[in-house]
Amino acid sequence: MFPYPPPPYAAFMAPFAGPPRLPPPYAAFPYFGAVRHPAPYVQAVMQLQSVTAANFDAELDLVAALLPRHPYIVVDTEYPGTVHRPPAGARDADLSPDDRYALVRANVDELPIVQLGLTLCDTHGNLPVVVDYETGHHVERAWEFNFSDFDVSRHRHAPASVEFLRSQGIDFDRARECGVSSAAFKDKLAGILSALGGNELTWVAFGGAYDLAYLVKMLGGGQPLPETRAEFMARVRALLGGRVFDAKYMAENCGRGDLRGVGLRSVAANLGVPRPIVEPPCLAGPKSLTACRIHTVMRLHVLSQDDVAAYEGLIDGLQ
């Protein structure tokens, strides 16, 4: 964990220097079950908890208990690709923000969510520390929610995207059998957010148009997304509460050339965010953790407080 208050950047980066510390045996990432990997920059073990129908009530109760002290909620989603695309010969970058939102809306309205990664932290970037169920040891915790909504034999999807998710370890048949329904997730999460009342939350994503759209779709009970970008952002604030940031938009527009036009892992590497000794699958849980680390460095060590505030509500691809 980061010390209190946050250190200057040189001190923040100091633990990354020198020879790497070897981790304990590194468990392969199964689709279900807790996954542990070392965080080389802290004297702690990181636990990525896989969430299914069997444990989602208990895990969301834990999230609710942790939110008052860890009000930053960083999310990432996995979904079965896109089936609505730009016109032939056009790229996303060629479209207007309204046209890009129209594509997001069409795809999210039609395609179910597959996974949601969720990482909490406090204002200094500390992740919550909990007691591991199996060992009794204190661990840092993040979550990967696996949903049962998507049926590969029934729903439209991008075959290459589905095959990629399979290659990363997702078992779609088992997800249909054991995953969380988005309706049950919505009921539980909406109750948690309502119970928090006036507690200020900060929601973060990296390239977050689809991530926020799937949250809005689930919390809206599966209803179609709003017609316009302005209505969509109003719905985001009404359903989520608090502030919304996109760490990718912050990185793209902070003035550093090495953070422009590159993806999640490259931004993390260029900011000095360490990677685990063994690279985890490219799925929602690890990606939400990386996005959390990026956002922490951006707001504590790259941007001023005034600059950070200016990025509120600015979502990559929708500006």
- What's the CATH code of the domain at 214? 3.30.420.10
**What is the Cα–Cα distance from 142 to 51, expressed in whole angstroms?**
10
Query: Is residue 185 in a domain?
Result: yes
Query: Is residue 9 in a domain?
Result: no
pTM for this one? 0.86
Q: How many CB atoms lie within 10 A of CB 145?
A: 26
Query: Is residue 38 in a domain?
Result: no
Query: Is residue 240 in a domain?
Result: yes
Residues 6 or more apart from 289 whose CB is under 8 A from it? 46, 48, 74, 117, 119, 142
Q: Give the pLDDT of residue 88.
A: 87
**What is the Cα–Cα distance from 272 to 136, expressed in whole angstroms?**
32
Residue type, 172: F
- Exposure of 270 by Cβ count < 10 A (0-12 exposed, 13-18 middle, 19+ buried)? middle
Interhelix angle for 97-110 vs 209-219, to 10°? 50
Query: Is residue 282 in a domain?
Result: yes
Residue 248 has pLDDT above 90, yes or no: yes
pLDDT in tens, 278-305: 678 899 999 999 999 999 999 999 999 8
Among the listed residues 305, 37, 30, the one whose alpha carbon sits nearest the alpha carbon of residue 178 = 30
Q: Give the pLDDT of residue 197.
A: 76
Q: Please name the helix (run of DSSP H) or strand (run of DSSP E) that holds residue 100, with its range, or none.
A: helix 97-110
Residue 11 has pLDDT above 90, yes or no: no
pLDDT in tens, 107-150: 999 999 999 999 999 999 999 999 887 888 899 999 999 999 99
Terminal Cα-to-Cα distance of the chain (whole angstroms):
34
Q: Is 38 helix (H, G, I), strand (E, B) or coil?
A: strand
pLDDT in tens, 222-240: 999 999 999 999 999 999 9
In this prediction, what percent of the chain has a pLDDT beyond 90? 75
Residue 185 has pLDDT above 50, yes or no: yes
Total count of domains within the chain: 1
- Structural domain boundaries, residue 173: 45-311
Query: Is residue 209 in a domain?
Result: yes
Query: Is residue 53 in a domain?
Result: yes
Query: Is residue 317 in a domain?
Result: no
